[in-house]
Amino acid sequence: MGTTRGVACLLVAVICLSCAAAAAAARSPAARLHRHLKRFNKPAVKSTVPIRRTKKDDLLRASSMRRYGRKRHTTANPMSVNPTMLNEGGHQHAIAYVQGDKYYGAKVTINVWEPKIEQPNEFSLSQLWILGGSFGEDLNSIEAGWQVSPDLYGDNNTRLFTYWTSDAYQATGCYNMLCSGFVQINSEIAMGASIFPTSSYSGSQYDISILIWKDPKEGNWWMQFGKDYVLGYWPSFLFSYLADSASMIEWGGEGSARRATSRTSRWWTAPTTSRSPRGWAPSPSSPTATTCRTATMATGAPTSTMAALGGAPTASNSEIVTTIGM
């Protein structure tokens, strides 16, 4: 009897120790990392679409698991400062915009470059913003364009990206497919895919075209890439203000440099007037300038155009000369 009790006590002790070890293992950094990877890399739906897989190294580069795939800053308000060049917290913006109406879509053709990023936590991008609400905590934003972000992707490749938020980048939204929100329907192009070839200084130039418009029947915001690729949509229920229409459209570029250098101030040649949606090009005085013209009016460069769609929602096509790959 005594032996039996001793064995039973030993088994209970072993089981308790095993449970404690399992609980400790579940709380370990490796286990938390594994859970986050499973959350980001959900199984593909039956009609498969390409999804760029999140890797362990991607999460390890992030400042925190909660902030992975999210912007750390808000969209610059061109009405609050000199809109020819917006500088906030190490970020520089060059933005053209329209407001004062209800907008149901916008189109942009963006010159594509591969900027040299000196530090892992720096980035450069050129994009389109569809905005609703104020620039406080209620800002709704749909964004798309190209970016170079070693912090997010682990390399210096120029990549196609999307972003959305319904609360000024606080708790909602993310890049690409890193959270629920954007619904991809295209089976050929992955969000976060590399764009190639890219433009070269005094050499060949390459553009991408992006159209975002609001479906008048369902109210969803759709994204079209180039002439032939409707990539997917943002459901209307994600947003408050954008559930109806956009109140501002922005076209432009953004970059960050954690160190203050003279090169930072030469990333863009600013638009020629504060409210005229004109484009810009790499400054001739700066061979290392990284960001290019984004958009001009019809009187500008023929390969770089933009338009805001007011009134009845509509869609249109555009030419694309750049290919996309993982």
φ, ψ at 95 (rounded to 5°): -135, 135
Question: Cβ distance 222 to 213 under 8 Å?
Answer: yes
143 catalytic per annotation = yes
Catalytic site residue 188?
A: no
* Catalytic one of 114, 122, 250, 254: 254
Phi (first) and psi of residue 181, to 5 degrees: 155, -80
What is d(CA 181, CA 173) in angstroms, rounded to the nearest whole number?
A: 7
Cα torsion for 309, 133, 231, 252, to the nearest 10°?
Answer: 70
Choose, from 122, 143, 218, 319, the residue flagged as catalytic: 143
Tokens of 63: 């400042």
Residues marked as catalytic: 143, 254
